[in-house]
Chains A and B, each alone.
Chain A
Amino acid sequence: SQQGEEDPQALSIQEGENATMNCSYKTSINNLQWYRQNSGRGLVHLILIRSNEREKHSGRLRVTLDTSKKSSSLLITASRAADTASYFCATDGGATNKLIFGTGTLLAVQP
């Protein structure tokens, strides 16, 4: 079952612009994570935000979480061509045995 749904499905921006991706989920969670995937490669963990947190920063990444709306956003500031990748949110659905991934946002950063 799909827990996370990312929006938009695809996003194209110019280098230097900010990129915002959104994630909506269905059930209560303990935490939400964001991952990045370069074309066809393994996913790499970016950031984790707990259900009692509203905002978290890591370098050029800013993640927000609104548990009342069951949604999260990932902001990448001052994007670079190297940020071109797919971005996935993942939630635990309140369980302990797995992460449930969304379908991802494909970000293309034009140089």
Chain B
Amino acid sequence: EAQVTQNPRYLITVTGKKLTVTCSQNMNHEYMSWYRQDPGLGLRQIYYSMNVEVTDKGDVPEGYKVSRKEKRNFPLILESPSPNQTSLYFCASRFGGTNEKLFFGSGTQLSVL
């Protein structure tokens, strides 16, 4: 089944404790992206990757890192999480440009205490 898999689904952590949210897609998509969703603000792009070893900042990249060593994986790293990073995170992927639809993961609800 074609899908984007995110883990974990829920995560509670404390300020400053490094964490990684994994994202994997099995559709051989070139493009992958991370979004965060906050009430009243919609979805905002954190980082995106056009292909392996090619990543770039989105609208809200501060406090986040990503890597794209393999085509299928695009982990999101929070090296020193802070409470303002408490949010619902989504990984998404697509084949090609913006005239193609995005496939989303199920989301990761992160709480930073």
By a CB distance below 8 angstroms, the chain A residues around B92 are: 43
Chain B contact residues: helix, strand, loop or mixed: strand
Q: How large is the interface on A (under 10, 10 to 19, 20 to 34, 35 or more residues)?
A: 20 to 34
B64 CB to nearest A CB, Å: 15
**Of A57-65, A70-78, A97-105, which binds chain B?**
A97-105
Contact of B90 among A30, A31, A33, A42 (CB under 8 A): A42
Chain A contact residues: helix, strand, loop or mixed: loop
Number of interface residues of B (CB under 8 A): 28
Give the residue name and chain of the B residue nearest to A44 (CB). B104
**A42, A96, A99, A101 interface centre (most CB from chain B within 10 Å):** A42
B82 CB to nearest A CB, Å: 22
Instruction: Using A40-B88, A102-B42 as known contacts, say yes or no to A45 and B99 having CB atoms under 8 A apart.
Output: no
Q: Which residues of A contact B (CB under 8 A)?
A: 1-2, 4, 30-31, 33, 35, 40-45, 48, 50, 88, 90, 92, 95-104
